[in-house]
Amino acid sequence: MNPSLLLPIGIVFMLMLFGLAGAGKHTQVLGLWVDRLDGPQTATASALAPIIDCMNRVDRDTRLTYHRAAHPPPAQACPEPEVQTSLPVGRSARPPK
């Protein structure tokens, strides 16, 4: 990067930061307006969050228990090793020497 451009870029960056800091009140007003529109839904979701989390934990354990009972694992102690049917990426088809 050209060192002569550092000063103008730095000045522009600092002016942008000051502009964003000065516009804080305007962005807060906009945020409050948006929050007012979805306030009841957000409050309901926040109130129900612990109940939903608890239900998800119970449901997960129940589903896992049912799946294990309905589909037991095979009785085979040692699974057979997988046979490689293709060459790994980046290897040639030449046999090793």
The 10s digit of each residue's pLDDT in 7-61 is: 899 999 998 888 877 776 777 777 777 777 777 888 888 889 989 888 888 888 8
Ordered alpha helix ranges (H), the chain: 6-22, 24-37, 39-70
- What pLDDT is attached to residue 58? 86
Q: Is residue 57 a contact partner of residue 63, using CB atoms and an 8 Å limit?
A: no
Domain map (residue ranges) of the chain: 25-68
Q: Give residue-wise pLDDT tens across range 66-89.
A: 888 898 877 665 666 666 666 555
Please indicate, yes or no, whether the overall pTM of this predicted structure exceeds 0.75: no
State the pLDDT at residue 87.
Answer: 57
CA distance 15 to 23: 12
On whether the CB atoms of residues 85 and 79 are closer than 8 A, the answer is: no
